[in-house]
Amino acid sequence: MSNDRYRFIRRLISGSVGLILIGALACSSHSQEPNDNRPRGAEEFFETRIRPILVDRCVSCHGVEKQWAELRLDHAQSAMRGGESGPVLVAGKPNDSELYRRIIESDADIRMPPEESGPALTEQQVAWFREWIEQGAAWPESHEMKRASPEELLRTHWAFQSLSKAEPPRELISPTGEPEHKNPIDAFVDAKRRELGLPKSPQADPRTLLRRASYDITGLPPSFAAVESLASHFSTESWEKTIDTLLSDPAFGEHWGRFWLDIARYSDTKGYVYAREERFYVHAPLYRDWVIQAWNQGMRFDRFLELQIAADILPDSEKKDWIALGFLTLGRRFLGVEADIIDDRIDVVSRGMLGLTVGCARCHDHKYDPISTAEYYSLFGIFQNSHEQLVALTDGTEQTDDHSKSLEEKKEAYNVYLRTQKVEAEARIRDRIADYLMAQKSLSDYPDVSFSQLSSKEDLLPAIVHRWENYLHRAARVGDPLFLPWVELNMLDDSQFVAESTLRIAQWKEAPGKVHPALLQSLSNVPVSVNDLANRYEEILLRSWRELHGDAEGNDVPKERTLREEFGEEAWESLVRFLTQSESPCVIPTEHMANMEWLWDNGTVVELWKRQSEVERLLLEDPFKHPHAVVLQDNRSILEPRVFRRGNPATKGADVHRGVPRVLGLESEHPIPSGSGRLALAKAVVDPRNPLTARVWVNRVWKQYFGAGLVTTPSDFGVRATAPSHPELLDYLAREFMAHGWDNRWLHRLILTSDTYQQTSLGPEPISDRNAAQGLDPENRYLWKMNRKRVRFEVLRDSMLVASSRLETARGGKSQDLFAGDGIANKRRTVYSTIDRQYLPTVLSVFDFANPDMHAPDRNETTVPQQALFALNHPFVAAQARGVIAEIQRQHPEGLSAKELAWKLDEIFQRVLQRKPTEDERKGLTDWLSYAEHIGTGADESQQAERMQSWAYGYGQVDAPNQRLLNFTELPYKTVTHRQGGERLPDAKLGWVHITARTIHTGNDLQHSAVRRWTAPGEGSVSIRSIAKHVHEQGDGVRGILLSSRQGILKSQVVAHGEEAFHVENLAVQEGDTIDFIAELHGSLSYEDLDWVPDVEWTPLSASVGASVVRNWNGEDDFPRSLRIPLSPLEQLAQILLVSNEAFFVD
């Protein structure tokens, strides 16, 4: 074909319908050009551009309190003088100014601000500094720079103020005297545009509007018929009806639920855990489905938030609602480190719901926002007093099937073992009360949590040591009579111990009730050391335990007076309470293993995890048959939190009360009177007086529709956040959202029916207006046009399935592997695919999928070569391209050749892009398709298909005496590269047996020998050339067997650390005869595979000498070569459209 014939295809690829990498950046709606709408005066420029950056990023280290390198940047004189290295500013010469050179430095060790102080300055900020210095570095001396105090920030920062009473501007009146805008959004936006002298863009055409709304609401493209219907009678009424239809579609909840799952750092797995613990969460898919259903059922958004914090204790909740607590419990496991798990929960609540970076106050007061470390630990205490628990979400109706019985048996086995170990462990603690008390003298020897600890039953367990620490700290705070002597005497030096103890004991005897009477009597003989004191405690407490349980344990009841008789009922009961109450350090709590794994020795904890994992694996087989959830529940005994100095749990500081941050405006409800505080936190999050929650949420919704939020930092409304572009509009939407019952559909409908949303993304006409607007507002912050948005990977994949008519609309249920069978097997919406935070598929990372390790406020948008490689080469994309053409052919059963199908270009375009091709596109593509049909693809697809059908892959058992294979069964799981038992190796049922293009691996026993089977297509003779290689230096080798269904075993030989030929010449076969290439287990199950690729040559019986009817097969026929089967010309066209910019971008 001449170059001219390809001209149209080149234009198609590189033009408006080009591949994602070609022109993607040009399609971006956010230009990086500097904003010309900037202050012109030198002093004004400094005050509005430079001074805020210096205050925000520099003066904490170069100000009044600190002067690193003897440099101050808080007023002009000091800045011009410079620091220990000399002046840092040279007016008019940025390249000679050390300040400028440092902020553009690429070396992180030299760059300012340093990495630990946050990210480098943005390109825009750097440009401002350069311009400022070039203009002479004007620095007015009006006032010194200093950080505002927390109290001042609470009074002045816009996000911490109550919602304003802003109303839509009324001065915009049309010539008829009526308000110009029916939608309040348009009134606010148009007022700001007019203020700035910005034009407005016209309404987009109906096709663009419907594609935009359909993708924005449901994440799926509309049908071509729907586009045509709307275009034929477009009106305000028809548009509103269309919006209502889309908002009632179940796909709405699937699409918007996925946005929330980003916020909730959703994953089906826990991240890295040790092998003793099950990797998958039993409740992840249930939480995902709950989120989707909440959207589709129109749940009030305040209710939606409340349930995800306190579903178990809200007075009007049902047990089925408890799955909402997955918002808190589906985070990373952090190897069981409690402080990190709680920090993650604080982060997902504060950033996800409140737009606050509270986690920045973990080690020190927040550097920017009015959030103190004490307030961080006030929140910490709320979650510290909540423990995880695996609970059934159903009423427990008995089921009698085998799976249900097995589940109950596993649960009972776990509970029986736990009860047994609990009794033994608590006895060991009681027997070593003195040792645990003495351990308080050297707490640094007992780190809180460390996987390097290998503890036996005889060891003091660090977690128990710290339970004693917490208990004794609280006892000291409340003046507990039982432990007052320990609190006051344990810190005494040995040289003064006896004298000081004698004095204190005498004082206690003069103050009845201050010290427990039994202990006070024990101290009548003054202890000589702290160790002696610890032994007195152990003696008293063990005596009370024996008196309580003597008969049950088979001990003699003491003949002397009992403690109860001697000291009375109240004193006796206080001893019993200490030994038996849940908060006692002598008691192991009965909770989820995630809470208590550190309270056991290594041998016990491994066995407990094993037994709990057996329960969880049964639940994972079908999470919806026996729905369970890992929820949070309040602890029975509430402990007030303590500050961890520098965030280190080993260095505990002052006590704080549980409560919510002051920025929520609810100080009157601080501290929390009872319970963990989760209920109070939930109520505070949705309290109408809270200035953050509604603002944050309406801003998130706005961002999804317009591509950028009114506030551009959706999870940070603190001091460092950019001010809202339309503050009055933000407050109006937040206030009205609450007034309309926190109704998401109301908010979506208001946005979707606005003229602002319906603007074209092409900009205003004439072009002079467009250029002027671009110069005034290059980032389109003030919405003079609609932003062009790139679709997420999930939307792209789902749209391809829609185009090929292969999307399965089944909703909910167990998560599926996204790329099972090379991505072709899974045809459900992407939201129902497994998200594995430890092994996130590379394709998802390439397409900027949210990091499931943490709360994701937004997704990046990158353009990298790997995205184009996926679009061009991945089997999934090729399969959908084939599916588009196959569906068209299915609708024309009379049959259409490729040349005739060229006239069906309309259908291809309609399926993929919801439009007809232009006349230019039709003419060029028709010419190209005709030529491509003429030259062909160069592939003999019928021969390829026949070769593939002759091979089968399975397992069975060799019956050597009878020279036959028993029970041949095909391996059920297929990918391009593997045939195996299941998604992962080893498979739970079939073990390690698997076959690839070159290797064949035995199963775990002789009943699961791996079999590569060739079937004769007809009568004739066969010659085989094959060499089996055992390429490992280790292992016992593998037995290779070549077996004919007609002649029996042709060869059987162990191949170990070498190779063996398995050749056959002129073997007679009949149609349907099989020849099996078998790998059989030999010795231990290690290194049990062979590199064995057979070549089979078959000559039919009727072939004459020299005739070209001999056919050949190779063991690799079914494997990667299948990827190289080319697409037909029409399928190539479908693929071009599926991966075009028009498909990747809305508008």
Q: Which long-range contacts (CB under 8 A, 24 or more apart) does 635-640 make?
A: 635/385, 635/386, 635/387, 635/582, 635/583, 635/676, 636/582, 636/583, 637/581, 637/582, 637/583, 638/385, 638/674, 638/675, 638/676, 639/381, 639/384, 639/385, 639/470, 639/474, 639/583, 640/381, 640/474
- Distance, CA of 193 to CA of 37 (rounded, Å): 13
Q: Domain locations in the chain?
A: 42-146, 258-396+616-685, 432-590, 941-1124
pLDDT at 894: 63
SS3 label, residue 1063: coil
- Distance, CA of 821 to CA of 799 (rounded, Å): 19
Contact present, 305 and 349 (Cβ < 8 Å): no
SS3 label, residue 76: helix
For residue 673, the one-letter residue type is P
Full DSSP string of 902-959? GGGHHHHHHHHHSSPPPHHHHHHHHHHHHHHHHH--S--HHHHHHHHHTEEEEEEEEE
- Distance, CA of 910 to CA of 916 (rounded, Å): 6
Bond from prior residue into 1129 cis (ω within 30 degrees of 0)? no
For residue 501, the one-letter residue type is S
Chain CA centroid to CA 664, Å = 27
- Which structure tokens are listed for 663? 């920025």
What 8-state DSSP symbol labels residue 274? -
Cβ burial, residue 170 (10 Å; 0-12/13-18/19+):
exposed
Dihedral over alpha carbons 391, 396, 399, 404 (to 10 degrees):
10
pLDDT at 398: 62
For residue 192, the one-letter residue type is K
pLDDT at 40: 43
CA 369, 375, 379, 384 dihedral sign is positive
The set of residues, in sequence order, having a beta carbon less than 8 Å from that of 1132 and lying 6+ positions away, is: 881, 932
> Phi/psi of residue 211, each to 5°?
-60, -45
For residue 1027, the one-letter residue type is I
- Distance, CA of 454 to CA of 456 (rounded, Å): 7
Q: Which residues of the chain register pLDDT less than 70?
A: 1-41, 43-44, 47, 141-147, 171-180, 396-398, 449-453, 550-560, 667-671, 893-903, 933-949, 976, 1103-1108, 1120-1125
The set of residues, in sequence order, having a beta carbon less than 8 Å from that of 654 and lying 6+ positions away, is: 374, 642, 643
Dihedral over alpha carbons 655, 660, 661, 665 (to 10 degrees):
-140
Full DSSP string of 225-268? HHHHHHHHT--HHHHHHHHHHHHTSHHHHHHHHHHHHHHTT--S
SS3 label, residue 403: helix
User: For the whole model, what pTM was predicted?
Assistant: 0.77
What 8-state DSSP symbol labels residue 433? H
CA 575, 579, 581, 584 dihedral sign is positive
Contact present, 79 and 88 (Cβ < 8 Å): yes
Contact present, 1037 and 1068 (Cβ < 8 Å): no
SS3 label, residue 1093: coil
CA nearest to 50, candidates 76, 82, 87, 12: 76
Give whole-number Cα distances, 291 to 155, 261, 319, 586, in Å. Answer: 36, 8, 16, 41
Contact present, 71 and 82 (Cβ < 8 Å): yes
Contact present, 1035 and 1084 (Cβ < 8 Å): yes
Neighbours of 253 (CB within 10 A): 22
pLDDT at 778: 92
- Which structure tokens are listed for 1026? 């094959």
**CATH architecture of residue range(s) 941-1124:** Sandwich (2.60)
Residue 1043 parent element (H or E) = strand 1038-1044
- Distance, CA of 1030 to CA of 1086 (rounded, Å): 12
Chain CA centroid to CA 77, Å = 50
CA nearest to 484, candidates 466, 508, 464, 467: 508
- Distance, CA of 729 to CA of 738 (rounded, Å): 14
SS3 label, residue 371: coil
pLDDT at 1096: 94
Give whole-number Cα distances, 1086 to 637, 954, 990, 1038, 1056, in Å. Answer: 52, 20, 16, 10, 12
